[in-house]
Chain A
């Protein structure tokens, strides 16, 4: 009761003069992301018209796939009130060990089977995360920092540290399959690869799970208020296993996409990109404490982060400054979204 009172007061204090606008922001936070994205794109186009070339846009599209898959997984976990930093390690571990296995035992394996194995491996590792988070009852950040080192240390210590330059069979050709192809003015061939399609498919699937199934309800509910969720009769353990398993599956998928796109399996890749993925999801309007967020917002957040990453150089910001800008950007955006977040802060 008292909690409702304080949150009401805070909401009233935050409404301020622009009540209508802040109401819109509160309901559809991804609107802000969209405006921000468009503003950046317009500013960059003015600074450097080369930005609007199809090749740049396709580059951004390609770069969004892996980040986007990771982000959808993180979004589901954030919605359930957790956080995951081990997904990059899961991706690295599955992609590298599967490439090794395929190369050694079944070089002609169909790419579909490779994806299936990667997803299964990711689910397994993700479920390990979910089980630990549920059983140990500690913040999932700490658990997943542990599993990140565990998975990645295991990969580098026991599986291998060398790059695989020659991908076996279909893994090598899949990355080169293109959806559409055209020549730019200066003669270079730009292509939108087939693997780009994976992202929209997974996005729609995630949207369906979150908005059209009981599991989606349970996930948002768990993120909003775990205790009430348990009392409502949801099986909290299953929800934990599901969200982490789902994020693991997407991580496994993203890992294979990553190597087929790069035509190289590097076990040192991916780990270290967690921060920008989490930032993307948060910039898309998902609250880091759970219970909110949308697939559209997440996708816009991913685009925002990928665009910012790609255009800093184009507008003449030296690469040494990149981290300063991205870090400051995360903080500013987080501070901005907080106005909205305080309104629904659950009683702790």
Chain B
């Protein structure tokens, strides 16, 4: 199951190349502490959403998570509107931050649980379910905020999560790495991780093997929802305002990151460390396009092209040529075909 592919090597190489190219294009500014910090500060929100997409894809059954950014925004909006009624951000920053985070996480948990229940028990296809919940979550956020942007303010602890530094590294980035590490650990060393991946590689076999299939699917989408709400908290902390339509292109970008990381869209394979690297590489490319003064539309165009390019790389297994276990990988090429 865990045949290593070459994505890790390729992504590391890509990051090195981007750093060099960026340094040359910008005359060194690209590698300044300020720019590195600002890039690292922007990775977590999209990286967390991408891990959510990866989990949904890996669990199989046509799994995908399209409601991620909508749920992230809903968590932020719900937390901001509910908590602001009870605590003041300026006079009681500690309680405000604490309850903001708790409410947001609860919203993410419930949203993810809703996805999981609909997919596992009602057997709604993940695409359709998450499209429906996407619209539902956006709608709820619009209703709660009346379609306007909601001011969160800058209560101490929350502000620190979005904008603070520890040893010159953004706290949000450290948080992201910690969460990614935790998910990676769970996937690798717990029965849940094994069930998740095996369910993705062969749902029928895992059904006959007696895995708690429905529970695995529900747990996967719930974790994915919690990750979305974490992203929502970081967005709220970083931007001080929350709005229902923040980050509309994140839907594509999260999927792009997952595909770039070598997560198999049909399920059964994905590595968190590659998703983290891929999120970092994508953020570096994004910053580079900024340095070159290109518009957002060019960026969308580039992301679309990049997604298609990486799908081709995955299809023809071009990265395997960089894999240390090249022969082992080619031997297993037949496997996906046999499963269909």
Chain A: residues with CB nearer than 8 A to chain B?
2-3, 83, 132, 135-139, 141-143, 145-154, 156-158, 161, 226-227, 275, 278-279, 282, 288-289, 320-328, 330-331, 334-335, 338, 341-342, 347-348
- Kindly list 9 other residue pairs between chains A and B, CB separation below 8 angstroms, not including A136-B315, A137-B315, A330-B131: A83-B127, A141-B64, A150-B304, A153-B302, A156-B301, A321-B143, A323-B136, A328-B132, A334-B128
B217 to chain A, nearest CB (A): 15
| B314 CB–A CB distance under 8 Å | yes
Complex contact A324–B125 (CB within 8 A): no
Q: 1/0 per position for B95-128, CB-CB distance to A under 8 A? A: 0000000000000000000000010001111011
Complex contact A288–B127 (CB within 8 A): yes
Q: Could you say which residues of chain B place their CB within 8 Å of the CB of A157?
A: 295, 297-298, 300-301
Complex contact A328–B307 (CB within 8 A): no
Q: Name the interface residues of B194-239: CB closer than 8 Å to any CB of A.
A: 203-204
| B252 CB–A CB distance under 8 Å | yes
Complex contact B135–A330 (CB within 8 A): yes
Complex contact A334–B129 (CB within 8 A): yes
A147 to chain B, nearest CB (A): 6
Chain B: residues with CB nearer than 8 A to chain A?
62, 64, 118, 122-125, 127-129, 131-140, 142-143, 146-147, 203-204, 249, 251-252, 255-256, 259, 265-266, 295, 297-305, 307-308, 311-312, 314-315, 340
Complex contact B300–A335 (CB within 8 A): no
**How many A-B contacts at CB < 8 Å in the complex?**
152
Using known A-B contacts A153-B301, A161-B297, determine if residue A327 contacts B307 with beta carbons closer than 8 Å.
Answer: no
Using known A-B contacts A279-B131, A327-B138, determine if residue A139 contacts B303 with beta carbons closer than 8 Å.
Answer: no
B337 to chain A, nearest CB (A): 9
Complex contact A138–B135 (CB within 8 A): no
**Pick the contact of B139 from A148, A158, A278, A321 — CB < 8 Å?**
A321
Complex contact B135–A323 (CB within 8 A): yes
B21 to chain A, nearest CB (A): 21
State the 3 A-B residue pairs at the shortest beta-carbon distance, nearest first: A153-B301, A323-B139, A327-B136
Using known A-B contacts A149-B252, A338-B124, determine if residue A331 contacts B136 with beta carbons closer than 8 Å.
Answer: yes
Q: Which residue of A lies closest to B60 (CB)?
A: A348
Complex contact B304–A136 (CB within 8 A): no
A137 to chain B, nearest CB (A): 6
B16 to chain A, nearest CB (A): 26
Main secondary structure on A side of the interface with B? helix
Complex contact A150–B301 (CB within 8 A): yes
Complex contact B147–A282 (CB within 8 A): no
Complex contact A289–B62 (CB within 8 A): yes
Q: Which residue of B lies closest to A148 (CB)?
A: B304
The distance in angstroms between the C-alpha atoms of A288 and B307, with both chains bound, is 23
Q: Could you say which residues of chain A place their CB within 8 Å of the CB of B301?
A: 149-150, 153-154, 156-158
Complex contact A153–B134 (CB within 8 A): no
Complex contact A156–B118 (CB within 8 A): no
**Pick the contact of B307 from A139, A145, A331 — CB < 8 Å?**
A145
Q: Could you say which residues of chain A place their CB within 8 Å of the CB of B64?
A: 139, 141-142
Q: What are 24 pairs between A and B in contact, CB < 8 Å? A: A3-B204, A138-B265, A145-B251, A146-B308, A149-B252, A153-B302, A156-B301, A275-B134, A282-B128, A289-B62, A323-B138, A324-B136, A324-B140, A325-B139, A327-B137, A328-B132, A331-B118, A335-B118, A335-B122, A338-B122, A338-B123, A338-B124, A347-B204, A348-B204
A279 to chain B, nearest CB (A): 7
Complex contact B142–A136 (CB within 8 A): no
The interface centre, meaning the residue of B131, B297, B311, B314 with most chain A CB atoms within 10 A of its CB, is: B131
Q: Could you say which residues of chain B place their CB within 8 Å of the CB of A279?
A: 131-132
